[in-house]
Structure 1
């Protein structure tokens, strides 16, 4: 069983920005190696604490035998992290999905390419029992540390019971959970399950609730457990939203950490106001107005404007910006210029 080093475990619990890595393509929908590697370099330069590769933002079609890019994206990202010769911790997370046999195979490939954890998707398993999904998790956890993933039903996930999460967090080598339920009740189930498990110091919670990023990170959950109060909070975020404007996301997380160490009403008010701007931005990028149809092209459009991508092409030619989405991104740029990291990206590109 591969386990997290003490350094990386501490790194996760300190709280970091983990972007969900996009896929760089040419117009003919073949992979653009230069831009794919460039994105990894951008996340490294931005101060991100890790990357998640072969996840939703990298497009699930990379696993199609005719496309066959799963290993390629894992390899290239791992190579760029190695070449950076970082003197700080940096965690590499590989997306893992599918039935148990596929998940096992992907987990072993992740280990082969030097990944520290597997972000284990529960999508596409709607007909499985909760116990079957728990057993699948146990099998993958024997191969590498698991980053659990609560995915909202509107994009292929499902709702799980409190009892499921109570058992999930007790699985040895489950070391983190991304909560992307986009639902306060379901988020609360996970946080309460962790508080009651006795593993709240072992399992790091990361927000994937793109509609509630800042509020998630500001909040401390407190639960009565055996006569004592147990506190659980979101340490950082593993987010498709943070695949863009990443340098500003790093600054935002540090601002929230400082607030949590020394809370004061003025800073809380400022952060809650910023929370609305971030959620409004996410609505433009992720396209909830059209059931998230344009979420990947929306990310690509921002990266294209910055010069990090050449275009917004996806492996699925039907994945395009929704009607009015480009104009919404225009509005976000106009209304909240302080949120973008265009100046940083310009300097980054001119210096490469």
Structure 2
């Protein structure tokens, strides 16, 4: 599992399938997991933002059921390749530890630990929380952009974070080059640099993140580190193409003369992401945008979210139409069409 994690995996952030009544659609939920398995993804992240944080509300109570469904489908598939199950973990220390216990009970390999929503906490308090969680489940760290509830952390914070035993990976998603570099530099300077895999969550720069070699001087010698894979809501759609993309990037990473066409592809992916994730309206339509693509493919019956106010923003449908027309090579509609009937059985 560790070898695969460090080689680089496509890890979709798993959406939530609902009936029009906004209750769990178990059939479509299982079909989504089967889609990710069949697409060649290397894991799934369940109970994260894309799964909708409201699943934790006592009146909804879907956190444990969705973790259970995904785990059952992964185990049933009996893959002959590594597939990592990651549980989203959030909230104060007490809540996070309770969620970690549920995740380990269903055989999850790691917890993607959000530090969002705790903006008044000191960095020391955040580090203490991570230490406690890491004693219960391997931690996949998460640098979340401030515009959606995250917080800017200092380089000194990351230096201490990466020294925590039990931290096995970090999803870097501040949507900011300076803050991205802070994390990679801290890992390069760490005694645990070879024990931590780096994953992109920077939806605005996916391909560039995956192609870049980060190099820093550490005690007088160069140390290099790569962002090897992605854990992304964007990869919850067109997942088969994302797997093909990452495999192609792996095959040319050692090429010192990468052609400019890769920079163009980065723009194409970013432009598509903008249509799905709705940065024009401060990401208000991001979950609905993912759902709309999955609805078009038949993987969801509708765009319904737990919160009825979560819908496409004005003009977002037209933007999704546009990127479908402009970048037909990025979607995997034909792949889904061929196999959907099997996933829905």
Choose the corresponding residue for 2:19, options 26, 42, 48: 26
Superposition pairs of residues 1-352 of structure 1, within 5 angstroms: 8-265=1-258, 268-352=259-343
Q: Secondary structure at the match of 2:266?
A: helix
| TM-fit CA distance, 1:200 | 1.9
CA apart distance, 1:143: 0.2
Partner SS for 2:216: strand
Q: Deviations over 1:54-112 (max 9, x none)?
A: 00000000000000000000000000001101010000000000000000000011000
Shift of 1:351: 4.1
C-alpha separation between the residues in 1 aligned to 2:200 and 2:114?
15
Structure 1, unpaired ranges of 5+: 1-7
The separation in 2 between residues aligned to 1:199 and 1:334, in whole angstroms, is 45
Q: Larger deviation: 176-185 or 269-278?
A: 269-278
Distance in structure 2 (CA, Å) of the matches to 1:264 and 1:16: 24
How far the C-alpha of 1:270 sits from its partner, in A, is 1.9
Moved more, 192-201 or 236-245: 192-201
Runs (4+) off by over 4 Å: none
Partners of 2:76 and 2:342 lie apart in 1 by 17
Task: For 1:279 and 1:298, locate their aligned partners in 2 and report how far apart those are by CA, in whole Å.
Answer: 14
Offset of 1:350 from its aligned partner?
3.7
TM-score scaled by length of structure 1: 0.96
Distance in 2, Cα, partners of 1:47 & 1:271: 22
**Partners of 1:230 and 1:109 in 2: CA distance:** 38
* Partner Cα separation in structure 1 for residue 335 and residue 324 of structure 2: 15
Q: Counterpart in 2 of 1:3? A: none
